[in-house]
Amino acid sequence: MGYYDDHYRPRRPRGMRGAWIASTLIGAVVGALIVVLALPALIESNLLPYNTDTGSNEIMQGDGESNPSGPLQQVNVDVSSQITQVVGEVTPAVVGVVNYQSQEGFWMEGDATEAGTGSGVIYKKENGKAYVVTNHHVIQGADEVEVVLSNNTHIQAQIRGSDLFTDLAVLEMDGSEVEKVIELGESETVKVGEPAIAIGNPLGLMFAGSVTEGIISGKKRAIPQDFDMDGRADWQAEVIQTDAAINPGNSGGALINLQGKLIGINSMKIAQSSVEGIGFAIPIDDALPIIQQLESEGKVTRAYLGVEAYSLNELAQAEWQQELRLPEGVEGGIYLRSIEPMSPADQAGLEELDVITHLDGEPIEDIIGLRKHLYQEKEPGQQMKVTFYRNGEKQETTVTLGSQDY
């Protein structure tokens, strides 16, 4: 039984191949001679499709006429754009933040040394003081904090307040040297796909004022946060996703739109340096109430429920019926993975794997909805009606919310 190969080409006998090569070379030589001998006659007869006059500094067209645009000229292109203008206006409001910590030991005298650097944004200037928002993890553990302006002026700052869960902190400093305050925008109106610009100090003050450009890749991303490193999420951070490069040192810097307005606070804490093209920023709409509370009170007080909860949309639809036994009419909600002992949720009778669908009669679709209702509409000590499903049965309970300072 035979076979064939589509790409196989039989070889010519050696004698035939040599004759073919010789004839090809002879033909090429003869053709070249004909062109060389005939070219002067063709030029004199003006039969060529182009002009061969090399003495002119003008570009000639095929009909022999000079280019009406005249001789070649050098063109200067203005490469300035809306982005360069916006960056020039906003950069003075983006600062460096230096964390100094005392190092005590047998060979040390307790002097504060630099423990890390990050970025910050000047958002307010009032009564001779300037206020900077940065990340909590940038100033965490600091004994002293220093703000470095875009012109390299160093100013001592005090920590007005800091919040672990939102990764935000507010600094206060002398405002006499401050010339620019950033304009606040709205993160709610941001659209996926629109341009975004990140400004900060990646890898330290050596690269102060670095600018990266990208787009808004996603809104309202819920990122689990494990602060005590026990393998369980302590918080769900709602963030803006962008592909503008955000690196260590960018933390606390500005994410702005093309109008130069602040739409987010960059946070490397909720990004991974091993991942490329995915950065996160705290939406300014969520950050602003926290900033105001830190500035006025120095801490954030939140209503406390005492549950570890996750959105139903994080589970496969099959598990809704098999594990949680939800009826088909349920389209969204949150399921409780665990209940803290003696918490308000525990005292109200909520249990593991309960599925909450409504709070005070309002539908709760996901963990972000829970956060917004709990922290924006409720106060510690208030009661909250909870509608939930347990083993396929709809039930209700009332929770008296606790208080927790962060």
* Per-residue 3-state assignment (H helix, E strand, C coil) for 204-215: CHHHCCEEEEEE
264's CB contacts (< 8 A; 6+ apart) are 187, 239, 240, 242, 254, 255, 281, 282, 283, 284, 287
> At 13, is the pLDDT very low, low, confident or very high (cuts 50, 70, 90)?
very low
Q: What is the pLDDT of residues 154-208, one digit of tens each?
A: 999 999 999 988 999 999 999 999 999 999 999 999 999 999 999 998 877 877 8
- Under a CB-based contact definition with an 8 Å cutoff, are residues 361 and 377 in contact? no
Amino acid identity of residue 359, one-letter, is L
CA distance 395 to 387: 6
Of the two residues 277 and 254, the one the predictor is more confident about is 254
Residues 359 and 303: their CA atoms lie apart, in Å, by: 14
Q: What is the DSSP letter of 60?
A: B
Residue 4's pLDDT band, with cuts at 50, 70 and 90, is very low
Q: 321: which 2 tokens? A: 């019926």
Asked if residues 145 and 98 have their Cβ atoms less than 8 Å apart, the reply is: yes
Tokens representing residue 18 in the block? 């040599």
Amino acid at 219: K
Question: What pLDDT is stored for residue 248 in this prediction?
Answer: 80
Residue among 398, 218, 221 nearest 305 (CA): 398
Q: Are 133 and 265 in contact (CB under 8 A)?
A: yes
**Distance (Å, rounded) from C-alpha 100 to C-alpha 319?**
50
Three-class DSSP category at 141: coil
Tokens of 295: 């500035």
Furthest C-alpha separation in the chain:
107
- Beta strand 210-225 with 195-200: parallel, antiparallel or unpaired? antiparallel
364: left (phi > 0), else alpha (psi -120 to 50), else beta? beta
For residue 63, pLDDT beyond 60: no
Catalytic residues: 137, 167, 251
**pLDDT value at residue 83:** 85
Identify the CA nearest to 350 among candidates 306, 304, 406, 402. Answer: 306
Confidence band for 66, pLDDT divided at 50, 70 and 90: very low
Beta 210-225 vs 307-311: how paired, if at all? unpaired
* 406 three-class SS: coil
Question: What domains can you pick out in the chain, each with its CATH number?
Answer: 83-174 (2.40.10.10), 186-297 (2.40.10.10), 301-405 (2.30.42.10)
Beta bridge partners of 216: 242
Q: What mean pLDDT is predicted for residues 70-94?
A: 74
Q: Which of 283, 275, 276 is nearest to 218 (CA)?
A: 283
Look at 185 and 45; give whichever has higher pLDDT: 185
Measured distance CA(320)–CA(317) in Å, rounded: 5
The Cα 299–Cα 244 span in angstroms is 31
- Specify the pLDDT at position 46: 60
pTM of the model: 0.67
- Say if residue 255's pLDDT is above 80: yes
Place of tokens 């602040």: 262
pLDDT digits (tens, 9 = 90+) for 127-158: 999 999 999 999 999 999 999 999 999 999 99
